[in-house]
Structure 1
Amino acid sequence: MAKYEEVKNGVIFPVGEKNEAYAQYFVGQSYLQTLVADLQVNVGVGNVTFEPGCRNNWHIHRNGFQLLLVTGGEGWYQEEGKPAQSLKAGDVIVTQDGVKHWHGATKDSWFEHIAITAGTPEWLEAVENEIYNRL
């Protein structure tokens, strides 16, 4: 049994549907519930839920930023050239424009965060299993 299984039921915000639109940029299954999609606001806000072992590819936000507000479970965040950071509910991550990074669940836990994103993502290669499995 995976840790924090209650996350899959949408403890704070709805889990949403399977994240099919971005599936090619994830290893494993994620879910996306858009919370703010107002073109006049110029930022996207979504609840992203990761099944255990799920993570997104390395990516960069161009002409913008990304804020991650962790709401449940256990996960990882890593910027290129830096060690991975363990994440839990209440943690906040600020990713500046142009910083290559990835984030996702631990191997044995569900993970959920609110992503507040401005700019355009540039999706890159998947996080190598060898690197992920060492965490």
Structure 2
Amino acid sequence: MLETRKASGIEDSFGEEATPLPENFDSHEAGNQVRNELVGRDITDNPSAYARFAPVIDDYLKAHLFGDIFARDTLSYKDREIATLSALAAMEGLSPQLKGHFRVSLNVGLSQTELLDFVQALKTSVSAKSADTAGDALSEVIAERYSAEGIRVSRAGIHPPTKGSPDYFTGTAEIDNRFGKHPPSVVRGATVTFEAGARTAWHTHQHGQLLIVTEGSGLVQEWGEAAKVIRPGDSVWIPPHKKHWHGASANSPMAHIAIVEDPQGNATEWMELVTDEQYSEANK
């Protein structure tokens, strides 16, 4: 393969050599400690069926793979897991192994966001099929972790609301981020309270948005269409990539709950502010 790459004009540079291991290095003991760290529990006495059937295989893995190879300091544990996940995602029928290595990846410090970014990189740089396989496995692993935690209640008032940025809002709007994403769910939401006359800038949402009006009277408008009045109890569905704004009417404050799907942290694309002329026309 290296010769083929070289013939194609690709120059592969060689990495640094690993630091030599000490003479008294015990690969079996070191490997046992590394494996326990990776899986997050003590499996010195490995209960796996293969280890019971052929203990020599388990000894070899501990001493050579987790001992000798993992002791080489040219790659971090995180780097090794990303490389392993990449190889597993490219092959079929290895979902159990993928889930196992996603668990290890979380144990060694890779975040859920980094692993979701990894799945997205597979989609854009490898194939949709490999990304779907990896994404399904990751979703199951994350769901396991959150299910183990049980039901969580987030109390109102713990986090103070923030003021909407003047880059994205005209007038005074307060944003209370009521809930973030709880993987495998990619849904997050906030309560937004607008003073009379306040509104968002024009914007779009990658996966759409749901608004539920809770107080006051407001407006929502799609680009090129007439504004619509919204009142408490109304729900508004805004399809993906529809340019729009929403906010309070000129003579009344308004509050709504806003819910979006945000798998990659880029659910909203902000655009220009709504002009006073556009807003006045919407209030007629």
> TM-score, normalised to structure 2's length?
0.40
Greater fraction helix: 2
Runs of 4+ in 1 over 6 A off after TM superposition: none
Paired residues of 2:161 and 2:177 also in contact (CA < 8 A): no
Pick which of 46-55 and 29-38 moved more: 29-38
Amino acid at match of 1:122: E
Unaligned stretches of 5+ in structure 2? 1-155
Taking the aligned partners of 1:58 and 1:66, their CA distance within structure 2 comes to: 14
Identity of aligned residues (%): 36
Whichever of the two has the greater Rg, that structure is 2
Could you tell me how far 1:38 is from its partner in structure 2?
Answer: 2.6
Aligned residues: 120
Q: Aligned with 2:167: secondary structure?
A: helix
Does structure 1 residue 81 correspond to structure 2 residue 227?
A: no
Could you tell me how far 1:108 is from its partner in structure 2?
Answer: 1.3
The within-5 A match list for 1:1-135 is: 16-20=160-164, 22-40=165-183, 41-62=185-206, 64-119=207-262, 120-134=267-281, 135=283
> TM-score, normalised to structure 1's length?
0.83
Deviations 1:66-123 (CA, angstroms, capped at 9, x unpaired): 0000001000000111110001101110011110000000111110000001241100
Q: Aligned with 1:52: secondary structure?
A: coil
Taking the aligned partners of 2:182 and 2:172, their CA distance within structure 1 comes to: 28
Could you tell me how far 1:133 is from its partner in structure 2?
Answer: 1.3
Could you tell me how far 1:35 is from its partner in structure 2?
Answer: 1.3
Could you tell me how far 1:39 is from its partner in structure 2?
Answer: 4.0
Greater fraction strand: 1
Unaligned stretches of 5+ in structure 1? 1-12
1:43 and 1:77, CA in 2 relative to 1: closer, same or farther beyond 3 A?
same
Q: Aligned with 1:24: secondary structure?
A: coil
Paired residues of 2:212 and 2:235 also in contact (CA < 8 A): yes
Taking the aligned partners of 2:181 and 2:261, their CA distance within structure 1 comes to: 12
Taking the aligned partners of 1:90 and 1:44, their CA distance within structure 2 comes to: 20
